[in-house]
Amino acid sequence: MKRYSTFLESSRPTTMARVALRAADVYATLRHPRQAWPPLPMMYEGTKSRWVYRRNGMAYFDYLRELAGLTPASNVLDIGSGLGRKSWPLIGFLETGEYLGIEPRRDAVQWCTRNITRQDPRLRFEHIDVRNGYYTPQGSRDASTATLSAETGKYDIVMANSVFTHMLPAEINNYLRECRRVLVPGGRLLCTFFMTPDEPSILGPTVSPARYQFPHHRDGYRVQHDNCDEHVVNYDEHDVRSMYDNAGIKITDIHWGSWRGNKEFLDFQDIVIGEKI
Ligand SMILES: C[S@@+](CC[C@H](N)C(=O)[O-])C[C@H]1O[C@@H](n2cnc3c(N)ncnc32)[C@H](O)[C@@H]1O
């Protein structure tokens, strides 16, 4: 599988990294004049960069096809769809399949509807009114009991990218049960985590410092920022495995990310592939 460099999004924001990112953005703008770009100040969900927005979409499009079996007939549910970084590559790709993005930020749902649904009505975005300490502290429903507005047994693929990295255990347990509910039998789940492996040697050699250290210990997880747990959350591999087991989803593969500075990786975050059993 093609490996996309994660350097520009994983490196620390030094002056050199910023200059490299700006140059990459100019290149992306000139090279892809028809792409709809969210305004840079609006890119709240990661590095404020057109280059990263595009790289990220292309990479996950490949992962969806190669790791989750995406075809033009697939029904896809995207939990926490943000500004459509992983949705835009599906424009014009789905034939009989449909895509639904669920997102608690209204501004993101609006942007995606205006810029993505308008180009391809097979891709739709819906607002979900849930609380997240980092993204939507004003949300009214608790994510540990919320029901996703997605049809039972409809989806071939469910993805939650860079979403469980901002959620707490009871919320993830609930969402994994919801994923199982909406998946077809044998359907695939592609989610990302910042995860600590049970066997650290599996990661191989390290070539740069870790992007996060997760110094603050909580009951069953660790966090990077003491004042907001949901800013970035880290789980142990065995805890993730037991959450999946409890939800009736089998983990079929783990692709470790580059965020710890390891030389071998697929993308920046750890990608966990699951299958409804
Ligand atoms: C880092 S962004 C990732 C967005 C998108 N998945 C991507 O990869 O570009 C995390 C997203 O998860 C959303 N989110 C946070 N808590 C959520 C929840 N309980 N349910 C659904 N989405 C949530 C946030 O609003 C935010 O848009």
- pLDDT the model gives residue 194: 98
- Domain annotation covers residue 267: yes
Rounded-to-integer distance, Cα 106 and Cα 277, Å: 34
- Domain annotation covers residue 1: no
Q: What is the pLDDT of residues 92-111, one digit of tens each?
A: 999 999 999 999 999 999 99
Q: Read off the pLDDT of each residue in 21-41 and give the average, rounded to a whole number.
A: 95
The residue whose CB lies within 8 Å of the most ligand 1 atoms, and thus the one to mutate among 48, 131, 134, 135, is 135
* Structural domains counted in the chain: 1
Q: Give the residue whose CA is nearest to atom 11 of ligand 1.
A: 80
Rounded-to-integer distance, Cα 155 and Cα 185, Å: 9
- pLDDT the model gives residue 11: 65
Domain that holds residue 95: 7-276
Q: What is the pLDDT of residues 236-255, one digit of tens each?
A: 999 999 999 999 999 999 99
- pLDDT the model gives residue 137: 97
Domain of residue 130, CATH code: 3.40.50.150
Model confidence, pTM: 0.96
- Domain annotation covers residue 245: yes
Give the Å distance between the CA of 206 and the centre of ligand 1: 29
Ligand 1 nearest atom to the CA of residue 85, by list position: 9
For residue 160, name the pLDDT band (cuts at 50, 70, 90). Answer: very high
Q: What is the pLDDT of residues 182-191, one digit of tens each?
A: 999 999 999 9
Does the pLDDT value for residue 127 go beyond 90?
A: yes
- Domain annotation covers residue 197: yes
- Domain annotation covers residue 2: no
What is the secondary structure of 191-218 as a DSSP string? Answer: EEE-EE-SSGGGG--B-S--S----EEE
- Domain annotation covers residue 270: yes
For residue 46, name the pLDDT band (cuts at 50, 70, 90). Answer: confident
- pLDDT the model gives residue 47: 87
Does the pLDDT value for residue 9 go beyond 80?
A: no
- pLDDT the model gives residue 2: 81
| Amino acid, res. 272 | V
Q: Is 163 in the pocket of ligand 1 (CB under 6 A)?
A: yes
- Edge-first strand listing for the sheet containing 221-223: 195-196, 233-236, 221-223, 216-218
For residue 137, what are the CA distances in angstroms to 103, 104, 170?
A: 14, 10, 17
Contact 47, 8 (CB under 8 A): yes
- Domain annotation covers residue 53: yes
Q: For residue 138, give both structure tokens.
A: 């004003």
Q: Is 104 in the pocket of ligand 1 (CB under 6 A)?
A: yes
For residue 1, name the pLDDT band (cuts at 50, 70, 90). Answer: confident
3-class secondary structure, 179: helix
Q: Give the residue whose CA is nearest to atom 12 of ligand 1.
A: 80
Q: Is 131 in the pocket of ligand 1 (CB under 6 A)?
A: no
For residue 259, name the pLDDT band (cuts at 50, 70, 90). Answer: very high
